[in-house]
Amino acid sequence: MRVLLWHVHGSWATSFVAGPFDVVVPVLPGRPADGLGRARTWDWPPTVRESSPAELRAAFDDGEIDVVVLQRPAEVELLERWTGRRAGVDVPAVYLEHNAPTDHAARSRHPLADLDAVADGTVPVVHVTAFNRLMWDCGDARTEVIDHGIADPQVRWTGDRPHVAAVVNEPVRRWRVAGTDVLLRVARDVPLEVYGMGTAQLGEHLSATGSPVAAASAQRLHDLSQGELHAALAGARAYLHPYRWTSLGLSLLEAMALGLPVLALPVTEAPVAVPPEAGVLSADPDVLVATAQRWLADPAEAAAYGKAARDHVLSRYSLARFHERWSALLADIADRPLPRR
């Protein structure tokens, strides 16, 4: 299966390109968002090749692309402008929705719901969680849910450090959405390590506001590569997922695959991703703090929850299951005749 895929979501794409696909990723000079090309912080296989817009048009002319996986509304126009092909009209396509709605969920119409090829079911909308599909109004579009796939990491939980770890990208800009206030509430009473892009800005913010957790937290803010992140997380006692509103963060699933027990808010897809034996979910930060303190004092209990977390992720979110479901869907879409319009 030969797939055109824009490099949009690095962690998700890393799982996808590890499957039985030949993947073409657009590349532009300077590697802007519309042409990032191959990943440089993840290990992608040689089955992923870069193509300029001109090379993409030639590939379509030669029949070298079987199906397109779209991930942003603008890619519908990019596809037609660069290749002369329309999604669902001239080439089979699916639209992958990574995110939950950013506006009121009950009133959020999906931006592609009224595109002809989407509305008549020719281009299905694929959601990464059942929660996201429920929240988006996709009209009469064909919708599917394909859960994330997580590779078994090469490192394992030790819990040597009596700290709780969290991964939050841009914690200052995404403050309440990402649950940064919850994170800081936990940090008042529990040693906390924060990883992710933009964590330096959190340290600056805490120092500027005179936060009581600034001094302790400033030494535990990190922006690491994926491999370094996994190694660091494995040494923390537990994992905090403070998000109020999100799609299912892959960092949560990766932490569970490492064997970390989880503390999280009982919102969005977290109740499905984190069963009771794998962690504690509560809307009360005091409950999360009390649980964290108990695990810091009892590594054996933390290890038992962490083992259940790992077992659950490697079963429900296995890479083999992920590839099997995507292979079946793309084969079905590629084999269907395109309607005349």
Domains of the chain with CATH codes: 2-149+319-335 (3.40.50.2000), 161-316 (3.40.50.2000)
- Provide the pLDDT for residue 220: 64
- Provide the pLDDT for residue 171: 80
- Provide the pLDDT for residue 218: 47
- The rounded distance, in Å, linking the Cα atoms of 142 and 88 is 13
- The rounded distance, in Å, linking the Cα atoms of 279 and 258 is 14
Instruction: For residue 156, give every residue at least 6 positions away whose Cβ sits within 8 Å of its Cβ, in sequence order, or none.
Output: 234, 258, 259
Q: Measured in whole angstroms, how far is the alpha carbon of residue 308 from the centre of its chain?
A: 21
- The rounded distance, in Å, linking the Cα atoms of 288 and 283 is 8
Our CA angle for 49, 50, 53, nearest 5°, is 140
**Residue-by-residue pLDDT tens, the chain, 341 positions:** 899 999 999 889 999 999 999 999 999 999 999 999 999 877 899 999 999 999 999 999 999 999 999 999 999 999 999 999 999 999 999 999 999 998 887 789 999 999 999 988 899 999 999 999 999 999 999 999 999 999 898 789 999 999 999 998 888 788 899 898 999 899 889 999 888 887 777 767 666 665 655 444 545 666 666 778 888 899 999 999 999 998 888 899 999 999 999 999 999 999 999 999 999 999 999 999 999 999 999 999 999 999 999 999 999 999 999 999 999 999 999 998 887 65
Our CA angle for 148, 151, 153, nearest 5°, is 130
Query: In which region does residue 320 sit, left (phi positive, over 0), alpha (psi from -120 to 50) or beta (all else)?
Result: alpha
Contact 56, 83 (CB under 8 A): yes
Sign of the Cα pseudo-torsion (161, 244, 180, 129, in order): positive
- Provide the pLDDT for residue 215: 44
- Provide the pLDDT for residue 196: 81
φ, ψ dihedrals at 312, nearest 5°: -65, -45
Adjacent-strand bridge partners of 145:
127
One DSSP character per residue, 165-194 reads EEE-SSTTTTHHHHTHHHHHHHHTTS-EEE
